[in-house]
């Protein structure tokens, strides 16, 4: 990509440019914001470093690229972490500056910044980029500061301190010193006082005088003045005010003379652009909803299908359209209808998209993923979700084969605004970016719902080489990076791993997937123990789903759900074996000695109950022993199921789920989501399957009032090519995934 780099003159923005080049991008312009008054060194700004701005004018000459500058006219007016367009705010100066760069150089598609740890700055850069349709590149984001400082020095960034404001840093002693000289002392101050060695806490600021990017010349500071802003005896504050500097040529043909003074640099006005004025033009964000979205869309009742769990505080809504023989509206048409219907359902509850925690987006053809996104972003926008956009996973499913149209959506909704969202849109070395209105993870009521993670290399956003196991390893590393942002780990806090496996995985590779996942988690847990971290005692459960395709033609996608306690106490977790407590008998079933592999559960007493129930052919034979034929022993069960057998199986699923939640002191009223995965070649019509389970829950209501079905089903029927507790064996007849939580 062609990149405009935001530069403050500091070491971080320069090293960020170097990382852009390392990952194959081209720096074609630099942009800088400076005070309105040249004599002012520093502004009271949360966004911009301005100390040393007098020298930035030389960067165009040193690098051989145009420099765009704008004098800051705004101030800090929007104080919340997540930024929204605010007239008169200093962020709007950045928007005006970058908008002009984009007009002058239309080929630019990305913006580089040196953000390392500041969410405040990163979110504002991302907001501006989103409005301009540009990609944010932040290759230093979340990197270890000690390693970063060493890398900068090793890669020949020659930067001096131009501001100090921390305990142990003396303006008289430490201003004007090179970072290579100060590095050992900065680490000493880190050990003594906990400072950020890269100065991310405002401990110090730097000015780069030379680096490999400066191909034409280096900056020579001839004279400066130390200005003391605060004479505090513990942490005095001082800045370096440049008085005189010149450029020293690196190439004899790059400058007309060996040295050029700062006055002569200003004569090269063709490479320096002063961006003036106020931009009165509204920049429409990509995917902003058009007027047709707000029109009421009517759908015939026989086509529209909805399900909703009954929990008042956190519940799921699922919507799909029954396929018809009439003319098709295509995936985008189906998706628009479904999103609008969910929107209406939310409005009926007095809620909106901002209350959605997570979205499962199922589509019939991954080749139309971009078209699906075009429709998706017309409904779910950052403007509609001021507290953070929902996390999301996108999967291709055999929807048409199951008679479910071309799109199918499930949303997890909370009736409060206590969610905490992690949404990093910048491409970095940290974890894959989420460019657009979906986030990496959403934390709500101690449950961390993580977006589906592919085996992407974060800085390049391409799938790693090496097949399914390599992709799985990368996806797990990306998941761990996200978990760390919430002070937890997938190795110690995971409740459930859902692993989507593409049919493109060779059969001989599938058995390795669970082994690799288990090995990674154990090694990660040991590393936490070595560091003295006390892990939560959680033993996660696993569900493997076989699907036709995944985004980017990935082979594997993982979707972890984690428990993140609000207190530091270690939660007690129940065993994954059935307890000895006996639930009331239902449907004529007795608490028999069912195979241990039939059910997995992870229960945090009084808080969370996660259950995966796997109905294999072995279990089905036991349930329907009086009506099964010999073909079942040869794995031909999908060709011989009758409606009466399927009824028996549906009642058993409800019985065992009911038994499990009651024994663990939960009820159906606590259910947040219940998915029933089935293969389309079950040869039981979808409507029949839905009615069997709906009738089963009504019977349970009549027997003990446990499920409270209400007007809509509380379950989602999800067609998959296969499912099971092992990637090597995804031949379940029915797989149930239930999540319950106490308010």
Answer yes or no: do 341 and 474 share one domain: no
Position 592 confidence tier, pLDDT thresholds 50, 70, 90: low
Q: pTM for the complete prediction? A: 0.88
Answer yes or no: do 597 and 690 share one domain: yes
Give the pLDDT confidence score for residue 683 in this predicted structure.
Answer: 83
Ramachandran angles phi, psi of 681, nearest 5°:
-80, 20
Selection from 681, 643, 676, 686 nearest residue 405 by Cα: 686
Answer yes or no: do 384 and 494 share one domain: no
Position 445 confidence tier, pLDDT thresholds 50, 70, 90: very high
DSSP 498: E
Question: For residues 554 and 467, what is the distance between their CA atoms, to the nearest angstrom?
Answer: 9
Give the pLDDT confidence score for residue 419 in this predicted structure.
Answer: 95
Residues 6+ apart with CB under 8 A from 583: 591, 658, 659, 660, 662, 663
Q: Which residue did the predictor score with more confidence, 603 or 577?
A: 603
Q: Which residue did the predictor score with more confidence, 192 or 232?
A: 192
Answer yes or no: do 36 and 70 share one domain: yes
Residue with tokens 């939960």: 666
- Please check whether residue 407 is in contact with residue 399, taking contact to mean a CB–CB distance below 8 angstroms: yes
The arithmetic mean of pLDDT across residues 141-166, rounded, is 96
- Please check whether residue 139 is in contact with residue 32, taking contact to mean a CB–CB distance below 8 angstroms: no
Residue 79 has pLDDT above 80, yes or no: yes
Q: What is the dihedral of CA 575, 577, 581, 582, to 10 degrees?
A: 150
Answer yes or no: do 519 and 598 share one domain: no
Answer yes or no: do 93 and 178 share one domain: yes
Q: What is the dihedral of CA 103, 109, 114, 116, to 10 degrees?
A: 140
Half-sphere exposure of residue 259: CA atoms within 13 angstroms, side-chain side: 8
Would the CA dihedral through 696, 701, 703, 704 be positive or negative?
A: positive
Give the pLDDT confidence score for residue 257 in this predicted structure.
Answer: 37
Give the pLDDT confidence score for residue 495 in this predicted structure.
Answer: 95
Give the pLDDT confidence score for residue 440 in this predicted structure.
Answer: 97
Token duo for residue 301: 């009742």
* Cα-to-chain-centroid distance, residue 670: 27
Q: Strand pairing of 407-414 and 314-321?
A: antiparallel
The lowest-confidence range among 290-304, 338-352, 687-701, 717-731 is 290-304
Give the pLDDT confidence score for residue 595 in this predicted structure.
Answer: 58
- CATH of residue 187: 3.40.50.620
Number of folded domains that form the chain: 4
Answer yes or no: do 695 and 732 share one domain: yes
Give the pLDDT confidence score for residue 534 in this predicted structure.
Answer: 57
116 within a domain of the structure (yes/no)? yes
576 within a domain of the structure (yes/no)? no
- Give strand pairing partners of 613: 599, 736
Among residues 392, 417, 442, the one where a domain terminates is 417
Give the pLDDT confidence score for residue 566 in this predicted structure.
Answer: 84
Question: For residues 688 and 436, what is the distance between their CA atoms, to the nearest angstrom?
Answer: 39
Q: Which residue did the predictor score with more confidence, 489 or 583?
A: 489
Q: Strand pairing of 456-457 and 462-463?
A: antiparallel
Residue 286 has pLDDT above 60, yes or no: no
DSSP 586: B
Position 579 confidence tier, pLDDT thresholds 50, 70, 90: very low
Most confident of 263-272, 504-513, 543-552: 543-552
573 within a domain of the structure (yes/no)? no
Answer yes or no: do 401 and 482 share one domain: no
Give the pLDDT confidence score for residue 82 in this predicted structure.
Answer: 83
Q: What is the pLDDT of residues 114-128, one digit of tens each?
A: 999 999 999 999 999
Give the pLDDT confidence score for residue 117 in this predicted structure.
Answer: 92
The lowest-confidence range among 62-76, 183-197, 311-325, 580-594 is 580-594
Q: What is the pLDDT of residues 627-682, one digit of tens each?
A: 555 454 445 444 467 889 999 999 999 999 999 999 999 999 999 999 999 998 88
The arithmetic mean of pLDDT across residues 531-558, rounded, is 86
Residue 486 has pLDDT above 70, yes or no: yes
Question: For residues 196 and 186, what is the distance between their CA atoms, to the nearest angstrom?
Answer: 8
Give the pLDDT confidence score for residue 284 in this predicted structure.
Answer: 45
- CATH of residue 660: 3.30.1330
Question: For residues 266 and 272, what is the distance between their CA atoms, to the nearest angstrom?
Answer: 8
DSSP 9: S
Q: What is the pLDDT of residues 687-722, one digit of tens each?
A: 899 999 999 998 888 876 544 544 578 999 999 999
Helix 330-348 and helix 369-379, axial crossing angle in degrees, nearest 10 = 30
Q: How many CB atoms lie within 10 A of CB 596?
A: 10
Q: Average pLDDT of the chain? A: 86
Ramachandran angles phi, psi of 483, nearest 5°:
-60, -35
Answer yes or no: do 397 and 433 share one domain: no
Answer yes or no: do 356 and 474 share one domain: no
Answer yes or no: do 332 and 369 share one domain: yes
Answer yes or no: do 120 and 222 share one domain: yes
Cα dist from 36 to 33, 41, 74, whole Å? 9, 10, 10
- Please check whether residue 477 is in contact with residue 524, taking contact to mean a CB–CB distance below 8 angstroms: no
Token duo for residue 433: 């970016």
190 within a domain of the structure (yes/no)? yes
Position 302 confidence tier, pLDDT thresholds 50, 70, 90: low
633 within a domain of the structure (yes/no)? no
Give the pLDDT confidence score for residue 711 in this predicted structure.
Answer: 57
Q: Which domain holds residue 617?
A: 589-625+641-742
Cα dist from 185 to 168, 178, 188, 487, 525, whole Å? 9, 12, 5, 29, 34
570 within a domain of the structure (yes/no)? no
Position 138 confidence tier, pLDDT thresholds 50, 70, 90: very high
Give the pLDDT confidence score for residue 527 in this predicted structure.
Answer: 76
Position 291 confidence tier, pLDDT thresholds 50, 70, 90: very low
721 within a domain of the structure (yes/no)? yes
Q: How far apart are the first and last CA of the chain?
A: 47
Among residues 274, 309, 340, the one where a domain terminates is 274
Give the pLDDT confidence score for residue 628 in this predicted structure.
Answer: 55
Selection from 399, 421, 418, 420 nearest residue 410 by Cα: 399
177 within a domain of the structure (yes/no)? yes
Residue with tokens 């065993």: 575
DSSP track, 282-322: --PPTTPPPGGGGSPPP--TTTEEEEE---SSEEEEEEEE-
The arithmetic mean of pLDDT across residues 343-351, rounded, is 94
Among residues 402, 417, 432, the one where a domain terminates is 417
Q: How many CB atoms lie within 10 A of CB 270?
A: 8
- Please check whether residue 457 is in contact with residue 477, taking contact to mean a CB–CB distance below 8 angstroms: no
Question: For residues 87 and 53, what is the distance between their CA atoms, to the nearest angstrom?
Answer: 25
Question: For residues 20 and 27, what is the distance between their CA atoms, to the nearest angstrom?
Answer: 8
- CATH of residue 456: 3.30.1330.40
Residue 189 has pLDDT above 70, yes or no: yes
Instruction: Return the SS3 of 539.
Output: coil
């Amino acid at each position: 990509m062609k990149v405009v780099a935001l530069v403050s003159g500091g070491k971080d923005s320069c090293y960020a440019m170097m990382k852009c080049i390392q990952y194959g991008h081209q720096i074609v312009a630099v942009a800088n914001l400076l005070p309105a008054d040249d004599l002012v060194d520093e502004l009271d700004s949360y966004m911009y470093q301005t100390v040393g701005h007098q020298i930035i004018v030389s960067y165009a000459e040193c690098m051989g690229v145009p420099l765009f500058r704008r004098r800051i006219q705004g101030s800090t007016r929007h104080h919340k972490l997540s930024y929204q367009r605010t007239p008169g705010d200093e962020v709007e100066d950045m928007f005006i500056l970058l908008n002009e760069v984009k007009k002058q150089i239309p080929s630019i598609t990305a913006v580089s910044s040196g953000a390392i740890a500041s969410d405040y700055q990163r979110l504002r850069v991302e907001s501006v980029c989103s409005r301009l349709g540009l990609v944010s590149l932040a290759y230093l984001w979340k990197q270890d500061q000690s390693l970063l400082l060493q890398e900068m020095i090793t890669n020949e960034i020659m930067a001096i301190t131009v501001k100090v404001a921390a305990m142990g840093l003396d303006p008289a002693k430490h201003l004007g010193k090179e970072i290579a000289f100060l590095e050992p002392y900065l680490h000493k101050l880190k050990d003594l006082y906990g400072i950020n060695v890269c100065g991310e806490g405002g401990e110090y600021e730097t000015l780069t005088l030379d680096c490999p990017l400066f191909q034409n010349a280096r900056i020579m500071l001839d004279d400066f003045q130390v200005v003391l802003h605060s004479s505090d005896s513990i942490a005095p504050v001082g800045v370096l005010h440049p008085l005189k500097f010149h450029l020293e040529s690196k190439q004899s043909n790059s400058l007309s003379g060996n040295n050029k003074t700062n006055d002569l640099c200003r004569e090269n006005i063709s490479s320096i652009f002063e961006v003036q004025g106020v931009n009165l033009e509204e920049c429409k964000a990509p995917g902003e909803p058009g007027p047709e979205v707000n029109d009421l869309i009517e759908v015939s009742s026989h086509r529209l299908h909805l399900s909703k769990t009954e929990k008042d505080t956190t519940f799921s809504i699922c919507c799909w359209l029954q396929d018809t023989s009439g003319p098709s509206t295509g995936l985008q048409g189906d998706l628009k209808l479904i999103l609008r219907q969910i929107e209406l359902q939310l409005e009926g509850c007095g809620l909106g998209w901002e209350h959605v925690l997570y979205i499962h987006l199922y589509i019939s053809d991954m080749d139309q993923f971009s078209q699906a996104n075009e429709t998706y972003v017309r409904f779910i926008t950052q403007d509609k979700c001021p507290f953070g956009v929902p996390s999301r996973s996108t999967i291709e499913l055999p929807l048409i084969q199951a008679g479910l149209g071309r799109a199918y959506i499930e949303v997890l909704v909370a009736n409060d605004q206590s969610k905490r969202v992690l949404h990093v849109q910048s491409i970095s070395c940290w974890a894959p970016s989420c460019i657009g209105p979906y986030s990496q993870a959403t934390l709500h009521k101690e449950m961390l719902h993580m977006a589906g993670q592919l085996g992407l290399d974060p800085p390049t956003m391409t799938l790693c080489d090496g097949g399914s196991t390599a992709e799985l390893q990368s996806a797990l590393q990306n998941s761990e990076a996200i978990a760390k942002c919430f002070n937890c780990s997938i190795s110690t806090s995971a409740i459930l791993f859902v692993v989507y496996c593409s049919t493109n995985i060779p059969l001989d590779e599938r058995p390795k997937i669970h082994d690799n996942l288990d090995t990674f988690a154990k090694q990660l847990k040991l590393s936490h123990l070595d560091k003295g971290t006390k892990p939560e005692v959680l033993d996660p459960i696993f569900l493997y789903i076989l699907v036709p395709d995944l985004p980017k033609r990935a082979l594997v996608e993982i979707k972890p759900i984690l428990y993140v306690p609000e207190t530091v106490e270690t939660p007690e977790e129940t065993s994954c074996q059935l307890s000895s407590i006996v639930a009331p008998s239902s449907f004529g079933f007795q608490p028999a000695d069912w195979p241990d592999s039939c059910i997995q559960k992870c229960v945090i007493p009084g808080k969370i109950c996660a259950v995966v129930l796997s109905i294999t052919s072995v279990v089905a034979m036991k349930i329907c022993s009086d009506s099964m034929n010999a073909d079942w022993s040869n794995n031909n069960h999908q060709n011989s199921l009758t409606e009466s057998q399927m009824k028996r199986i549906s009642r058993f699923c409800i019985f065992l789920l009911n038994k499990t939640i009651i024994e663990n002191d939960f009820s159906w009223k606590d259910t947040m989501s219940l998915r029933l995965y089935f293969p389309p070649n079950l040869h039981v019509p979808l409507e029949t399957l839905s009615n069997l389970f709906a009738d089963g829950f009504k019977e349970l209501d009549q027997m003990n009032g446990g499920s409270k079905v209400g007007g809509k089903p509380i379950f989602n029927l999800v067609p998959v090519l296969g499912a099971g507790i092992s990637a090597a064996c995804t031949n379940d007849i029915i797989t149930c995934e239930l999540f319950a939580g106490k308010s």
